[in-house]
A and B are shown apart, each in its own frame.
Chain A
Amino acid sequence: MRSREDLGINIIGHVVMGLFSLMCVIPFVLLIIASFSDELTIVKNGYSFFPQKLSLDAYLVLYLKGAEIGRAYLISIFVTVVGTVVSLLMTSMLAYPLSRRDLPLRNFFNFYVVFTLLFNGGMVPTYIIYTRYLHIKNTLWALIVPSLLLSGFAVMIMRTYFSTNIPPSLIESAKIDGASELRTFFVIVMPMSLPVLATIGVLGALSYWNDWFNGLIYLTDSKLFSLQNVLNRIMMDIQFLSSTNMGNVSGLTITKLPTETTRMAMAAIGVIPIFCAYPFFQKYFVKGITLGAVKG
């Protein structure tokens, strides 16, 4: 009786979760198959899981247009690496002093951080301050600085980690041994905090790699576009693919540029790095969600 019930919920679980898992995978499969399809087949028969004809034309175009796509790719990588490193440094250097019980004005600074989570100036003042006063428009800064560099949540998560995992006696004894605050922080505190640094770093890197919003509002110069911005432009504006002299690809046997498949190939190269890296950062991603969910 009991085991039959266990079996019942197990079977329902497998059916529901199995179906939903399929729903989560199938769109990506369709995307990748489409990128390997023949352009004319797609124009004629639409996207299909079993295209009549396969082709590498889309990837050939990406390869021949290597300079354009390559630049967008490099910008995405640059922004992700620099953004994540700077963000981790700034976040931990703000969180560590806040975790110190002896810090003067500790309550004031804590409130200063928390208040940014409660009240938000909104998009218009933010945009005007960044463009009119800080002149960030059409610079690489636009992809790194606005909104992504430091979040109050990350500071709070790190602060909690520091205050529960770094014994004050350790800091005290480092001080007695003559270590400066900076040295204590980099040589003792940081190495002891690798799990939380990895967690915040993974979430930060993912949000930099996936960000398209900053590019959308602060960039009009397509030379500075990250991969996400290029994808966004191609989607919203079919002309874009042919206008940025991506249209005249010499040496390609087909007369028309394979726009449908090229789009899908570009989306595929945007997704594949994340999926490949996921097994390595999965642990920290899940940890980050568990920590951030309640405080998020």
Chain B
Amino acid sequence: MHSDVGVVSTQKRSNSKKSKVKRYIPLFLMMAPGIIYLFINNYLPMFGIVIAFKRMDFRKGILGSEWIGLENFKYLFTTPDAFIITRNTVLYNVVFIVLGLIVQIAFAIFLNEIRPKRISRLYQNLIILPSLVSMVIVAYLVYAFLSVSTGFLNKSLFPVLGIEARNWYSESKYWPFILTLVNVWKSAGFGCIIYLATIVGINPEYYEAARLDGASKWQQIRHITLPMLRPVIITLTILNIGKIFYSDFGLFYQVPMDSGQLYDVTNTIDTYVYRALIKLGDIGMSSAASCYQSIVGFILVLVSNFIVRKLDKESALF
């Protein structure tokens, strides 16, 4: 049997190069649908970025439209929107990254410590519920609390506490907090899973040794758990920083219910592009903003991956 294998593979190896390629045709055919899909869904739009440098005329097509250089970008950056959407996108991301990190690590540590284990698992299953539903559903849940005329806060809770009803969907000052709360609420459950998995994987001997030396629980967390989590924390944070130019469209569009009075604090690059493209049909503005996001986003991803690669090769994308 074993010698048979040797004979066959020697024969294969001695075959000509042409038949080697032929042998792999079935594999290439298997790959074809995926390769073609990525070409259409990902690569064509990459080339489509040239739209931002053109005056798009659909009768002439993308290639036939007239080049106008940076004109679209000039328009975009003379509006105050360019600054607002960049500020909102980046600031929200920074807050989400920092807060998410603290909450998720704290939750992972708690879930690991809580006894009985059965209750800990129950908590884990409950806090993951928000990540299973769509942002549309989340918008409904938020609406049930914040609706001006029928919401739980205005109608049930505030009267009892003697607080005046608020016009939630038209007062922008509340929304940075609401959106941050919703983000933490929706992402804490699945976010802490990765940290929990790392903590569970820590060698228990470390903790035993620490206990023998009389280390308290807090000392163990500070000097064993957190240092062991460090590589994961660094990797995830840097990768998140790489995505700082992208926002969760659903969070910023669905949850504030596209309320115009809130745009100042809810407009991000993604919602801006959507509104300019679909609602206003302004190809010039939207493609300029979309291109701006792609290019800066690409640079950030490359830089963050470069850093991750230096620190921990396994975690890098490439």
Which residue numbers of A lie inside 8 Å of B, CB to CB? 2, 5-6, 8-10, 12-14, 16-18, 20-21, 23-25, 27-28, 30-31, 34, 42-43, 45-49, 89-91, 93-94, 96-98, 100, 103-104, 109, 111-114, 116-129, 132, 134, 145-147, 149-150, 152, 155, 172-173, 176, 180-182, 185, 206, 209-213, 216-217, 228, 231-232, 235-236, 260, 263-264, 267, 270-271, 274-275, 278, 282, 285-286, 289-290, 293-296
Contacts and interface: CB of A to CB of B under 8 A. Distances in A.
B41 A267 contact: no
B100 interface: no
B188 to A, nearest CB: 7
A30 B298 contact: no
A18 B172 CA distance: 31
A295 B150 contact: no
B150 A46 contact: yes
Given A121-B44, A126-B48, A217-B278, A264 B144 contact: yes
B155 A46 contact: yes
B67 interface: no
A217 B35 contact: no
A232 B217 contact: no
Contact of B140 (A173, A176, A231, A295): A231
B115 interface: yes
B143 A235 contact: yes
Q: Which of A10, A34, A172 has the most CB of B within 10 A?
A: A10
A17 B110 contact: yes
B140 to A, nearest CB: 4
B30 A185 contact: yes
A9 B115 CA distance: 10
Interface string B172-207: 000000000000010011100110010000000000
B137 A118 contact: no
Interface string B133-148: 1111101111111010
A146 B126 contact: no
Interface in B113-145: 113-115, 119-120, 122-123, 125-130, 132-137, 139-145
A124 B41 contact: no
Interface stretch (B20-28, B76-84, B85-93): B20-28
B147 A46 contact: yes
Contacts of B38: 112-113, 116, 150, 152
A267 B136 CA distance: 9
A278 B132 contact: yes
11 contacts: A24-B126, A46-B155, A47-B147, A90-B33, A96-B27, A155-B34, A181-B27, A212-B135, A236-B257, A267-B141, A278-B125
Interface string B54-76: 00101000100000000000000
A89 B107 CA distance: 37
Interface in B269-298: 270, 273-274, 277-278, 283, 286-287, 290-291, 293-294, 297-298
Contacts, number: 299
B132 A206 contact: yes
B96 interface: no
Given A24-B129, A113-B38, A271-B137, A129 B45 contact: yes
A96 B33 CA distance: 13
B40 A134 contact: yes
B139 A118 contact: no
A45 B123 CA distance: 32
Given A9-B113, A27-B145, A120 B30 contact: no
Given A30-B141, A119-B294, A45 B155 contact: yes
Given A46-B155, A124-B51, A232-B254, A294 B235 contact: yes
Given A13-B114, A14-B114, A150 B49 contact: no
A112 B294 contact: no
A24 B62 CA distance: 47
Contact of A2 (B31, B185, B211, B270): B211
Contacts of A145: 41
Contacts of B251: none
Nearest to A27: B141
Nearest to B5: A176
A65 B125 CA distance: 34
B41 A147 contact: yes
A150 B155 contact: no
A173 to B, nearest CB: 8
Contacts of B155: 45-48
B137 A182 contact: no
Given A46-B156, A47-B155, A20 B270 contact: no
Contacts of A30: 141, 144-145, 152
Contacts of B265: none
B6 to A, nearest CB: 11
B38 to A, nearest CB: 5
B133 A271 contact: yes
B298 A46 contact: no
Contacts of A216: 278
B150 A47 contact: yes
Given A31-B140, A121-B44, A123-B270, 19 more contacts: A2-B211, A2-B216, A14-B119, A20-B107, A21-B126, A25-B126, A27-B145, A46-B150, A47-B152, A94-B35, A109-B31, A124-B51, A124-B52, A124-B286, A126-B41, A126-B48, A147-B41, A180-B26, A232-B254
B114 A129 contact: no
B141 A28 contact: yes
B45 A121 contact: yes
A90 B34 CA distance: 5
A17 B107 contact: yes
